[in-house]
Amino acid sequence: MALYESTIWTDYHEGKRARDDEAYWDRRAAGFARHAGASNYAREFVELCRINPNWTVLDVGCGSGSLTVDIARKARGVTGIDISGAMLRLLQDRAHAEGVDNISTIKAAWEDDWDAAGVPRADLVVESRALLTADLPSALAKLDGRARRRVCLTTVCGDLAYNDRRVVEAVGRTLPHPPDYIHVVNCLYDRGVKADVRFISSAKLDRYPTRDAAKSSLENMLGNDLAPDERERLEAFLDRHLVREASGQWVKDYERRTDWAFISWDK
d(CA 53, CA 75): 4
Number of domains in the chain: 1
> Could you read off the pLDDT of 8-62 as tens digits, one per residue?
888 888 766 555 576 676 676 566 655 555 578 999 999 999 999 999 999 999 9
98 CB-near residues (< 8 Å, 6+ apart): 69
Mean per-residue pLDDT, 95-108:
97
Let me know if residue 229 belongs to a domain.
no
Q: Is residue 224 part of a domain?
A: no
**Within a domain: 214:** no
Element (H, E) at 128: strand 122-128
Contact 153, 184 (CB under 8 A): yes
Helix (H) or strand (E) holding 204: strand 196-204
pLDDT digits (tens, 9 = 90+) for 199-228: 999 888 899 999 999 999 999 889 878 999
In a domain, 222, yes or no: no
What is the C-alpha to C-alpha distance for residues 226 and 237, in angstroms, rounded to an integer? 14
**Residues spanned by the domain of 173:** 6-204+258-266
- Looking at residue 15, its pLDDT comes to 67
- Mention every residue, 6+ apart, whose C-beta is less than 8 A from residue 192: none
What separation in angstroms does the CA of 174 have from each of 1, 14, 126, 170, 171?
A: 33, 19, 33, 9, 9
Q: Give the residue-averaged pLDDT of 94-104.
A: 97
> Alpha-carbon distance 233 to 142, whole Å?
44
On whether residue 119 sits in a domain, the answer given is yes
pLDDT tens digits for range 157-211: 988 888 899 999 999 999 988 889 999 999 999 999 999 999 999 888 899 999 9
249 domain-assigned = no
Report yes or no on 63 lying in a domain. Answer: yes
Spatial separation of the C-alpha atoms in residues 212 and 191, rounded to whole Å = 48
Residue 48 contacts by C-beta under 8 Å, 6 or more apart in sequence? 152, 198, 200, 262, 264
User: What is the bridge-based pairing of β-strands 122-128 and 56-60?
Assistant: parallel
66 falls in which pLDDT band (50, 70, 90)?
confident
| 195-220 CB burial, b ≥16 within 10 A, e <16 | beeeebebeeebebeeeeebbebbbe
Residue 1 CA from chain centroid, whole number: 31
Report the CATH number that the domain containing residue 193 is assigned in CATH: 3.40.50.150
Report yes or no: 48 and 74 within 8 Å, Cβ to Cβ. Answer: no
CA distance 240 to 231: 14
CA atoms of 71 and 117, how far apart (whole Å): 23
Q: How far apart are CA 97 and CA 202, in angstroms?
A: 27
- Alpha-carbon span 211 to 199, nearest angstrom: 34
Q: Would you give the distance in Å from CA 161 to the centre of its chain? A: 8
| E strand or H helix that includes residue 237 | helix 228-241
Decide if 167 is inside a domain. Answer: yes
